[in-house]
Amino acid sequence: MKRALIFGKFALRVLLVVFLLHSLVGCGGGTVSTEGLGSTRFEGEVKSLDGASLAGIEVRIQESGAAALTDSEGQFTIETELPGDSATLLISGDNFSSSATIEQIPTGAPVVSLEIEVDPLNGNVSVSVLDISASVPTPVPAPPSTPRPHETPVPQERTILIAGQLVFNDGTPVTGARVSLSGSTRSTFTDSAGNFRLRSSSKAAALELNLKFEAFNGGVRITKIPAGKDVNIQIKLQLSIPNPTGKPGVSTSSATVSVTSLRVRPR
């Protein structure tokens, strides 16, 4: 009876040690996370303006403190819970630190795909929201079809990369303006130089580029986009206000936006 009791205590201690080791392993390093019910996954890539992947860049969600370092391919993933419908990203590297706010994140959208571009020379950071979705769907290949005689060709979806700048009518840059595309969840914000970059996939021959800055909410239409090929669009926009000082407090409710330069070319 005594030997059986000693053996039982020994077995209990072994189970306790195994449980503690399992708990310690489960708390190991990697991405800092506050994952739980209703959590949102931020995922994406950080790269330089020439497209090179940047490793070792920290991406942090200010509202929760959850963070991750980009891997050798510039990829990162952060699981966290958000207190509201917006998230402020803190992006930092060896010689720069910047931030950007993503607004109007739908409730129950667990996946936010991002593309972050960094200019190492001046530390400017551009954040593009590629997609906000409830899940990552598995693409189902469409069955091949044989065009019928005299059948109108179906427009093919292609990638459109928009690079632009937004300035006031006195030439000073508009910083922190939200730039988005109609009919898409993709958006970005102008940096300290008024520059922005936005990537989209579309079959249409025209795009609506929306701008929101303080009380101003408007946009421009880009037409005659070539079909069937990936396209680069370079655009310069001017935000005209009655008192073009570019200082905080200036009313932008009566502002207008116009295109001062536009170049559309296939890649």
62 domain-assigned: yes
113/197 same-domain check? no
Tokens representing residue 267 in the block: 């890649």
143 domain-assigned: no
133/173 same-domain check? no
Bridge partner residues of 133 (DSSP):
111
166/251 same-domain check? yes
190/232 same-domain check? yes
The CA distance from 220 to 199, in Å, is 17
11 domain-assigned: no
What one-letter code names the amino acid at 87?
Answer: A
Domain boundary among 137, 172, 192: 137
Q: pLDDT tens, 102-148?
A: 888 877 667 888 999 988 777 788 888 878 765 445 566 777 776 66
pTM above 0.75, yes or no: no
Residue, of 38 and 183, whose pLDDT is higher: 183
The CB density around residue 259, as the number of other CB atoms within 10 Å, is: 14
Q: Are 171 and 163 in contact (CB under 8 A)?
A: no
Domain boundary among 111, 137, 163: 137
13 domain-assigned: no
Domain boundary among 137, 164, 181: 137
Tokens 């200010």 belong to residue = 62
The domain spanning residue 247 has which CATH number?
2.60.40.1120
- State which residues form the domain around 261: 155-267
Residue 60 has pLDDT above 90, yes or no: yes
122/173 same-domain check? no
216 domain-assigned: yes
159/215 same-domain check? yes
Tokens 């959590």 belong to residue = 39
45/99 same-domain check? yes
- Chain centroid to CA 150: how far? 42
Residue 73: what pLDDT? 93
Residue 17: what pLDDT? 34
